[in-house]
Amino acid sequence: MKISLQWINDYVDLSDIAPEELAHELTMRTVEVEDIRYQELAYDKVVVGKIMEILPHPQADKLLITIVDVGEAEPYRIVCGGCNLYEGQRVVVALPGSYVRWHGQGEPVLIKKTKLRGEPSCGMICASEELELDELFPASREAEIMDLKDFDFPAGMPISEALQLNDVILEIDNKSLTNRPDLWGHYGIARELSVIFQRNLMPVADFVLDSSLEDNEHSLPVTIESPKRCSRYAGLVFSGLDSRPAPHWMRVRLAAAGITPHNALIDITNYVMMTTGCPTHGFDRRFVNKELIIREARKGETLELLDDTFLQLTAEDLVICDTSEPMALAGVKGGKKDSLHDDTTEMVLEVAVFDPLSIRHTAQRFNVRTEASTRYEKGIDTQRVDISIALACQLLVQLFPEAQLLGYQDAVATTTSQAKIDVSLAALSKSLGRKVDYKQVSTLLFALGFTVQRVDEDILNVVAPSWRSTGDVSLFCDIVEEVARIIGYENFDFIPPTVTLEKAIKQDGFDLERRVREYLAFRCDFREIFTYPWTADDLIAAAGVEAEIELAQPPAPDQSRLRPSLVPGLIGNVRGNLRFQDEIKVFEMAQIFLSGETSPSDPAEIFPVQKLNLAGAIAADEDQGLYIFREVKGLIAQLPDYAGSEQLTFQNISPPVWADKDVWLNIIGQGESIGSLGLLSSKVKNAVGIKRTQVAVFELDMTKLTPQPTRGHEYRPLPHYPLVEEDFAMIVEEKVTWEQVREIVEPMVKELTYVEEYRGSQIPAGKKSLLFHVLLGSDEGTLSSDQIAGKRGAIVKQLSKKLGAELRQ
């Protein structure tokens, strides 16, 4: 979800706090902020221009030469192919040094001084799609330039300032909002921020309904025939309306939140939803026959939606009807005939609460997911209808001074009961691991909208606000979480748990998995992650893996496939965590899903083929690529010693699709390839937006690791005689690996250590220099100079004979 900080500031003044601090505190205490986007950065060096003169292009009929005032001492000469240019026109000019999307396609391109068909051109007069403003300024024909005729901006004014494109947008991870339906609107986020930063929260609106208009002759009777599926439904009748566009400020805010602007009436309904989190819908009064009925659909009924989709309805579907026919699929989408039109002058405004499960089933059955259904699926309290009505009425009166509320009816089947929880201060302190008192707890909960009544010295009676009583808060542990998150998880001391250990049943497979996890976490300083079994399409495409198994009911349109590899999810985790730290070490051990069928327990239950894989990644600065690659290689090589499995080796057999073409290896176990490691290719990193960072990745098939009865540790006594240190710099063919060198040298020395590879002007083309360090010694006595020279010579001779190596002079 996208949150506008300017919108938030309507309700809580946070103007003195940096967006980065807001995002950090919101992430630590409420929901995860995935990104901070400064709108104005996209419009750097993009200004208002005024066309002073238009000249024909001598070499091209479809191009024109324009002389444009951009607020500087001299006007700019710009060649343009726009079809709607005229002298005196105010346009948007991208100056040299700015970035635009050429014809709205591909990656942003840098604007430079250039020549077009032989004529010099300094800048670019932009179409709306080239600045990603086509939702605010839709073009009616090809090559149409963005015309600012409705604005009186001076030439040279930054377009971000002129068009109010100077907001800061917080992109919030929807998964972290799933159990917080109160946060699916700007006001809910504003409420949280007011608590976190201890600021005053202003009301959504101050409009008060005239009670004399309820159930009058102009109102429409509302009948709820399915009270279990619709708890409240308000219908308000307005006149004096038209299809004028919404004011620019509202259109800009909606677009920033991901909502396409239409006209003032539709935009108001969307604005209310994006503010309060409660969807609203407008019907054209002309097409509503006598009354509003909320009921289950009847056999044979159909409905044409706004997007021209025809639905065959069943009793499973809740619909909004008049006395004649269904008008809307309740909580999901409106019908085409009865919704708002360009010539609408009277509107019936719906503000309602529907059952979450009912809406989810209907949306999934018809595969129709909307902003409204997403919010209803989470659960909305009936009291939220009141603030939504107030805001809608206030905006209608503000945007349509001649508008009148003719009448309304508000039918309530049930109201949201406020959750009541008895809380023991002693139990709360024990759960938190720190002592808290009545004053601290009551102050904190009161700020969140809870009421707290002290029963005795220990027990508190806590009542949750309606917006937290839709299933979000109902248990003692929910109160523990509320107190802990506002105090700040980072402010708690780390206390090791006290446990009683009992001997477990020996299970070799589980023991191996445990030892692998312990090795990576404790010895290699990795953090274990857990990702969903489905993976985002952009990550699958970036990693280049083939995902063949699709979900019938995906959690999101772009997350419809089960992972065939752990690498895409790992890449996504690295990308997300790079926002907070520069160096990352993460791993995951989890199932992957492949084509084919299996029945692990019951022949009647068919599942896709699953395999347990292990994958990990190290991310570091861009100059650390080879270092982290070797670190990954080293930890894989040592894994069998700590985990108790057969030894692993490395070969170049088949490169993984996600790896750099030069820096990769296959992991070999029992003579076959069981995995790969390598640096992420630049193509993959660019595709997912990882910049100025190297990422080393490995993945292997855990089912191919065979547990060994013992770990095979071998005792070696300390040497009785002095050891001699020697370094070797050997020039070898580029294709020669360190593994090949190690197999030859290791039996000839007491200890062997890799140092570095070198390629440069002093090394012949197609070759590299391998530097390694050895310890020479004997169990029979101290080595003489001749014996040392002999051992050195033997090493060089064997490398020369078997690998064609030469000692670098």
pLDDT at 709: 66
> For residues 270 and 247, what is the distance between their CA atoms, to the nearest angstrom?
14
Which of the 8 DSSP states describes residue 519?
I
Rounded mean pLDDT, 120-140: 92
Rounded percentage of the chain residues whose pLDDT exceeds 90: 77
676 shares a domain with 625: yes
3-state SS, residue 132: coil
How confident is residue 98, by pLDDT bands cut at 50, 70 and 90?
Answer: very high
pLDDT at 214: 94
**Signed CA dihedral, 488, 491, 495, 496: sign only:** positive
Name the residue type at position 663. Answer: V
pLDDT averaged over the chain? Answer: 92
> For residues 273 and 388, what is the distance between their CA atoms, to the nearest angstrom?
8
Rounded mean pLDDT, 193-218: 95
pLDDT at 582: 85
pLDDT at 560: 86
Instruction: Kindly tell me if the per-residue pLDDT of 725 is higher than 70.
Output: yes
Within-domain flag for 715: no
Within-domain flag for 499: no
Kindly report the CATH number assigned to the domain that includes residue 650.
Answer: 3.30.930.10
**Number of domains the chain is built from:** 6
680 shares a domain with 550: yes
Instruction: Kindly tell me if the per-residue pLDDT of 602 is higher than 80.
Output: no
301: alpha, beta or left, given left = phi > 0 and alpha = psi -120 to 50? beta
Query: Strand pairing of 584-598 and 527-528?
Result: parallel
pLDDT at 710: 61
pLDDT at 641: 86
pLDDT tens digits for range 673-718: 999 999 999 999 999 999 999 999 999 999 998 887 665 566 777 8
748 shares a domain with 686: no
345 shares a domain with 296: yes
> For residues 217 and 237, what is the distance between their CA atoms, to the nearest angstrom?
11
> For residues 27 and 16, what is the distance between their CA atoms, to the nearest angstrom?
19
pLDDT at 378: 94
CA distances from 723 to 482, 718, 776, 779 (A): 63, 11, 6, 10
> For residues 801 and 195, what is the distance between their CA atoms, to the nearest angstrom?
74
pLDDT at 502: 81
> Beta partners for 616?
587, 698
Pick the range with the lowest mean pLDDT from 471-475, 642-646, 775-779: 642-646
64 shares a domain with 14: no
pLDDT tens digits for range 36-73: 999 999 999 999 999 999 999 999 888 999 999 999 99
695 shares a domain with 745: no
Pick the range with the lowest mean pLDDT from 217-226, 285-294, 776-785: 776-785
Closest to 167 measured CA to CA, from 5, 1, 2: 5
699 shares a domain with 559: yes
Instruction: Decide: 447 and 264 in contact? Cβ < 8 Å.
Output: no
Kindly report the CATH number assigned to the domain that includes residue 321.
Answer: 3.50.40.10
Kindly report the CATH number assigned to the domain that includes residue 148.
Answer: 2.40.50.140
Pick the range with the lowest mean pLDDT from 339-348, 471-480, 654-663, 701-710: 701-710
407 shares a domain with 305: yes
φ, ψ of residue 127 in degrees (nearest 5): -85, 160
Instruction: Kindly tell me if the per-residue pLDDT of 505 is higher than 80.
Output: no
Instruction: Kindly tell me if the per-residue pLDDT of 120 is higher than 90.
Output: yes
> For residues 71 and 50, what is the distance between their CA atoms, to the nearest angstrom?
9
178 shares a domain with 112: no
Residue 580 structure tokens: 């907070």
**Signed CA dihedral, 556, 561, 562, 563: sign only:** negative
Query: Strand pairing of 168-172 and 561-562?
Result: unpaired
Instruction: Kindly tell me if the per-residue pLDDT of 311 is higher than 80.
Output: yes
How confident is residue 479, by pLDDT bands cut at 50, 70 and 90?
Answer: very high
Provide the residue range defining the domain that includes 327: 211-412
218 shares a domain with 117: no
